[in-house]
Amino acid sequence: MTDLKPDLPPRLISELVADADFPKGAVRQKVDIRGFVGVVLEFAGNSIKVRSAEGNTVSYNIHTLRKLYGPRIEPEKETPQPAEPAAPSVAASKPEVKRHVFLEPNFDAPLVPIERLVQQPDYPRCALGTFVDLHGFDGVVVELVGHSLKVRSRQGSTRSYNADGLRKLYGPGPHIVRSRF
Protein backbone atom coordinates (compact mmCIF):
# COMPACT_ATOMS: atom_id res chain seq x y z
CA MET A 1 0.00 0.00 0.00
CA THR A 2 3.00 2.27 -0.45
CA ASP A 3 1.70 3.77 -3.74
CA LEU A 4 -1.42 5.21 -2.12
CA LYS A 5 -1.83 8.27 0.03
CA PRO A 6 -2.94 7.08 3.48
CA ASP A 7 -5.44 9.92 3.81
CA LEU A 8 -7.50 8.76 0.82
CA PRO A 9 -10.68 6.99 1.89
CA PRO A 10 -11.24 3.51 0.47
CA ARG A 11 -13.81 3.08 -2.28
CA LEU A 12 -16.69 0.72 -1.55
CA ILE A 13 -16.62 -2.47 -3.57
CA SER A 14 -20.08 -1.60 -4.89
CA GLU A 15 -18.56 1.45 -6.62
CA LEU A 16 -15.76 -0.56 -8.18
CA VAL A 17 -17.91 -3.41 -9.52
CA ALA A 18 -20.24 -0.86 -11.13
CA ASP A 19 -17.36 0.42 -13.30
CA ALA A 20 -17.28 -0.96 -16.83
CA ASP A 21 -13.56 -1.74 -16.54
CA PHE A 22 -13.92 -3.89 -13.40
CA PRO A 23 -11.87 -5.90 -12.42
CA LYS A 24 -8.89 -4.51 -14.36
CA GLY A 25 -9.68 -0.94 -13.30
CA ALA A 26 -9.71 -1.96 -9.64
CA VAL A 27 -6.01 -2.84 -9.56
CA ARG A 28 -4.04 -0.45 -7.27
CA GLN A 29 -7.30 0.94 -5.85
CA LYS A 30 -7.93 1.16 -2.10
CA VAL A 31 -11.15 -0.77 -1.48
CA ASP A 32 -13.53 -1.63 1.37
CA ILE A 33 -15.17 -5.07 1.05
CA ARG A 34 -17.53 -5.42 4.01
CA GLY A 35 -15.00 -3.96 6.43
CA PHE A 36 -11.87 -5.55 4.93
CA VAL A 37 -9.89 -2.53 3.70
CA GLY A 38 -6.92 -2.95 1.43
CA VAL A 39 -5.36 -2.41 -1.97
CA VAL A 40 -6.26 -4.54 -4.98
CA LEU A 41 -2.91 -6.07 -5.91
CA GLU A 42 -3.84 -7.96 -9.03
CA PHE A 43 -6.54 -9.45 -11.15
CA ALA A 44 -5.85 -13.07 -12.07
CA GLY A 45 -8.26 -15.59 -13.52
CA ASN A 46 -11.62 -15.07 -11.85
CA SER A 47 -10.37 -13.32 -8.73
CA ILE A 48 -8.80 -10.20 -7.34
CA LYS A 49 -6.23 -10.20 -4.54
CA VAL A 50 -6.58 -7.54 -1.85
CA ARG A 51 -3.83 -6.79 0.71
CA SER A 52 -4.63 -4.96 3.96
CA ALA A 53 -2.33 -2.48 5.71
CA GLU A 54 -1.45 -5.28 8.15
CA GLY A 55 -0.17 -7.43 5.27
CA ASN A 56 -3.06 -9.92 5.09
CA THR A 57 -3.96 -10.91 1.52
CA VAL A 58 -7.45 -12.14 0.64
CA SER A 59 -8.73 -13.34 -2.75
CA TYR A 60 -12.27 -12.56 -3.89
CA ASN A 61 -14.14 -14.12 -6.81
CA ILE A 62 -15.09 -11.33 -9.23
CA HIS A 63 -18.34 -12.99 -10.30
CA THR A 64 -19.46 -13.28 -6.68
CA LEU A 65 -18.52 -9.65 -6.03
CA ARG A 66 -20.56 -8.57 -9.05
CA LYS A 67 -23.52 -10.65 -7.92
CA LEU A 68 -23.42 -9.38 -4.32
CA TYR A 69 -22.40 -5.76 -4.79
CA GLY A 70 -23.04 -4.88 -8.42
CA PRO A 71 -25.98 -2.88 -9.70
CA ARG A 72 -29.14 -4.82 -10.29
CA ILE A 73 -29.62 -5.52 -13.97
CA GLU A 74 -33.24 -5.54 -15.01
CA PRO A 75 -34.04 -8.25 -17.54
CA GLU A 76 -35.02 -6.91 -20.90
CA LYS A 77 -38.69 -7.29 -21.67
CA GLU A 78 -39.22 -9.28 -24.80
CA THR A 79 -41.87 -8.20 -27.21
CA PRO A 80 -44.28 -11.06 -27.75
CA GLN A 81 -43.95 -12.66 -31.15
CA PRO A 82 -46.87 -14.42 -32.73
CA ALA A 83 -46.30 -18.06 -31.99
CA GLU A 84 -46.80 -20.81 -34.48
CA PRO A 85 -49.20 -23.43 -33.27
CA ALA A 86 -47.19 -26.32 -31.96
CA ALA A 87 -48.11 -29.76 -30.85
CA PRO A 88 -48.46 -29.92 -27.07
CA SER A 89 -45.45 -31.38 -25.38
CA VAL A 90 -45.58 -33.04 -22.01
CA ALA A 91 -41.91 -32.24 -21.34
CA ALA A 92 -42.29 -28.56 -22.24
CA SER A 93 -45.31 -27.87 -20.02
CA LYS A 94 -44.68 -26.90 -16.41
CA PRO A 95 -47.24 -27.44 -13.70
CA GLU A 96 -48.82 -24.22 -12.49
CA VAL A 97 -47.82 -23.32 -8.95
CA LYS A 98 -50.76 -22.32 -6.77
CA ARG A 99 -50.39 -19.02 -4.94
CA HIS A 100 -52.45 -17.83 -2.01
CA VAL A 101 -51.97 -14.26 -0.82
CA PHE A 102 -53.04 -12.57 2.42
CA LEU A 103 -53.15 -8.81 1.84
CA GLU A 104 -53.73 -7.38 5.33
CA PRO A 105 -51.27 -8.80 7.91
CA ASN A 106 -52.41 -8.32 11.54
CA PHE A 107 -49.40 -8.00 13.85
CA ASP A 108 -51.70 -7.52 16.85
CA ALA A 109 -53.09 -11.06 16.54
CA PRO A 110 -51.95 -13.67 19.06
CA LEU A 111 -48.49 -15.11 18.32
CA VAL A 112 -48.85 -18.80 17.39
CA PRO A 113 -45.89 -21.18 17.74
CA ILE A 114 -44.96 -22.94 14.50
CA GLU A 115 -45.21 -26.30 16.34
CA ARG A 116 -48.97 -25.83 16.65
CA LEU A 117 -49.46 -25.04 12.95
CA VAL A 118 -47.41 -27.90 11.47
CA GLN A 119 -49.59 -30.43 13.36
CA GLN A 120 -52.81 -29.21 11.71
CA PRO A 121 -54.22 -31.45 8.96
CA ASP A 122 -54.69 -28.49 6.59
CA TYR A 123 -51.11 -27.22 7.05
CA PRO A 124 -49.66 -25.13 5.35
CA ARG A 125 -53.00 -23.60 4.23
CA CYS A 126 -54.02 -22.98 7.87
CA ALA A 127 -50.93 -20.80 8.38
CA LEU A 128 -52.04 -18.14 5.87
CA GLY A 129 -52.72 -14.89 7.76
CA THR A 130 -51.39 -16.25 11.07
CA PHE A 131 -48.94 -14.28 13.22
CA VAL A 132 -46.39 -17.05 13.73
CA ASP A 133 -43.37 -17.57 16.01
CA LEU A 134 -40.55 -19.19 14.00
CA HIS A 135 -37.99 -19.22 16.83
CA GLY A 136 -36.04 -16.08 16.05
CA PHE A 137 -38.32 -14.58 13.44
CA ASP A 138 -41.91 -13.52 14.12
CA GLY A 139 -44.23 -12.48 11.34
CA VAL A 140 -47.48 -12.98 9.51
CA VAL A 141 -47.70 -15.63 6.79
CA VAL A 142 -48.67 -13.39 3.87
CA GLU A 143 -48.33 -15.82 0.97
CA LEU A 144 -48.26 -19.51 0.13
CA VAL A 145 -46.50 -20.44 -3.09
CA GLY A 146 -46.46 -24.16 -3.69
CA HIS A 147 -44.77 -25.56 -0.58
CA SER A 148 -43.26 -22.24 0.55
CA LEU A 149 -44.50 -19.86 3.22
CA LYS A 150 -43.63 -16.19 2.86
CA VAL A 151 -43.54 -14.56 6.29
CA ARG A 152 -43.47 -10.76 6.75
CA SER A 153 -42.15 -9.27 10.00
CA ARG A 154 -43.56 -6.21 11.75
CA GLN A 155 -40.49 -4.29 10.45
CA GLY A 156 -41.36 -5.19 6.84
CA SER A 157 -38.74 -7.82 6.00
CA THR A 158 -39.99 -11.00 4.33
CA ARG A 159 -38.52 -14.49 4.58
CA SER A 160 -39.47 -17.69 2.79
CA TYR A 161 -39.67 -21.03 4.56
CA ASN A 162 -40.14 -24.50 3.11
CA ALA A 163 -43.38 -25.89 4.56
CA ASP A 164 -42.18 -29.50 4.48
CA GLY A 165 -38.91 -28.53 6.17
CA LEU A 166 -40.78 -26.73 8.96
CA ARG A 167 -42.97 -29.79 9.47
CA LYS A 168 -39.87 -32.01 9.76
CA LEU A 169 -38.22 -29.63 12.21
CA TYR A 170 -41.18 -28.78 14.41
CA GLY A 171 -43.75 -31.51 13.78
CA PRO A 172 -44.64 -34.40 16.06
CA GLY A 173 -42.24 -37.27 16.51
CA PRO A 174 -38.80 -37.80 17.91
CA HIS A 175 -36.37 -35.01 17.19
CA ILE A 176 -32.83 -36.26 17.03
CA VAL A 177 -30.14 -33.72 17.74
CA ARG A 178 -26.81 -34.79 16.33
CA SER A 179 -23.59 -33.36 17.61
CA ARG A 180 -20.68 -32.60 15.32
CA PHE A 181 -18.23 -33.64 18.05
Alpha-carbon dihedral 115, 116, 118, 122, rounded to 10 degrees: 180
Report phi then psi at 65, rounded to 5: -60, -40
- Pairing mode, strands 36-44 and 47-51: antiparallel
Name every residue whose Cβ is closer than 8 Å to that of residue 8 and which is 6 or more positions away in sequence.
30
**Is the separation of the CB atoms in 142 and 158 below 8 Å?**
yes
pLDDT digit string, tens, across residues 12-68: 888 888 888 888 888 988 999 888 999 999 988 889 999 998 998 999 998 888 888
CA 148 to CA 142: how far, in whole Å? 11
Among the four given CATH numbers 1.10.60, 2.30.30, 3.40.50, 1.10.3470, the one describing domain 11-69: 2.30.30
Q: 48-86 b/e with 16+ CB inside 10 Å = b?
A: bbbeeeeeeeeebebeebbeebbeeeeeeeeeeeeeeee
> Domains of the chain: which residue ranges?
11-69, 99-170
CA 58 to CA 160: how far, in whole Å? 33
pLDDT > 90 fraction of the chain, expressed in percent and rounded: 31
pLDDT digit string, tens, across residues 60-116: 998 888 888 887 766 666 666 665 555 555 555 566 777 878 788 899 999 999 999
Confidence at 162, pLDDT banded by 50, 70, 90: very high
